[in-house]
Amino acid sequence: MELNVLNETAQLKAVVLGSARNNGPTPQLEDCYDPKSKEHVKAGTYPVESAMIDEMAAVAAVFEKYDITVFRPKEIENYNQIFARDIAFVIDDYFIKSNILPDREKEIDAIQHVIDMICPTKIINLPDDVHVEGGDVMPWNDYLFIGTYTGKDYPDFITARTNKQAVDYLTAMFPNKKVVSFELKKSNTEPRDNALHLDCCFQPVGTDKAIIYKGGFLLEEQYQFLIDLFGQDNVFEITRDEMYNMNSNVFSIAPDVVVSEKNFTRLNTWLRSKGITVEEVPYAEIAKQEGLLRCSTLPLIRG
């Protein structure tokens, strides 16, 4: 399999879609990885497996409609395998394995059947000190956008997933890319003030447009860089509550086709006004784990 991912929106041809099967029981509070999951565990509203299976089936149906090759992880008993984006990502024709939370290392083993199809020289295993997850990494043609957190209190945030070493490593690995990193706002306790990954507060759509939540960025000049790059008229700015509901975490399967959550009324109306077809799916249950459509997909081939 020859990988090819140059940006976020080119025609999707092959993708790994996570799985909600055999997802395990509702986690204990102390075992949650993010504040939104904690919130729903406390409230007794954490999503049930059957609902999440149905939601992911709706996404799989959209992929089938567009003749996209879909790979699924092998099932691991009582294990959350929904968020395929966390465990690896593709830049150009390289498959880069993330260094993720130790409790989640089995997830990469579950897609070994996919990795075996890739040329070994195109598979990158990162050094131990390079922490990165795919939700923080966005190829955008000549640019490579990376979400990070470089505060001295990085070790205190389970929500800080991509460190400065990752930015430096990827900058060195892709010398022809203009690498731009963004300091993200982190909170272990308040999901409305936590940009878990870059795609929780920003994502390009179409060929020249973007969804942005200003409050997800620690530094206003970094937010302003994106506004200047895409142009104010091409940017859809989401509110704090829309960020909480994961409005920026939609998924493009072509420049003119976006898969989005059916309740994102304001966003979906805007996308359609820009000539983009919106394939609406139910995904509100999975969103309770602070991840949505981009988080649960790992594109392998675009273009």
Q: What is the pLDDT of residues 154-183, one digit of tens each?
A: 777 877 789 999 999 999 999 999 999 999
- Residue 109 located in a structural domain: yes
Q: Which has more confidence, 142 or 289? A: 142
Which pLDDT band holds residue 35 (cuts at 50, 70, 90)? confident
In a domain? residue 220: yes
Chain segment 69-87, per-residue pLDDT in tens = 999 999 999 889 999 999 9
**What gap in Å lies between CA 238 and CA 244, rounded to an integer?**
10
Return the CATH number at 216.
3.75.10.10
Domain membership of residue 6 (yes or no) is no
Q: Which residues are CB-contacts of 194 (< 8 A; sequence separation ≥ 6)?
A: 34, 35, 36, 159, 185, 186, 187, 188, 200, 290
Is residue 210's pLDDT more than 80?
yes
**pTM score, two decimals?**
0.94
- Please indicate, yes or no, if residue 146 is contained in any of the structural domains: yes
Residue span of the structural domain in which 54 resides:
12-302
The per-residue pLDDT for 5 is 98
Number of domains in the chain: 1
The answer to whether residue 3 is domain-embedded is no
Would 1 be classed as within a structural domain? no
Residue 41 in any domain: the answer is yes
Distance of CA 136 to the CA centre of its chain: 7
What's the pLDDT tens digit per position in 247-266?
999 999 999 999 999 999 99
* Percent of the chain whose predicted confidence (pLDDT) is above 70: 100
Sequential DSSP letters for 177-242: SEEEEEEBP--SS-GGG---SGGGTEEEETTTEEEE-GGGBS-HHHHHHHHHHH-GGGEEEPPHHH
Most confident segment among 14-28, 107-121, 191-205? 107-121
Q: Does any domain span residue 277? A: yes
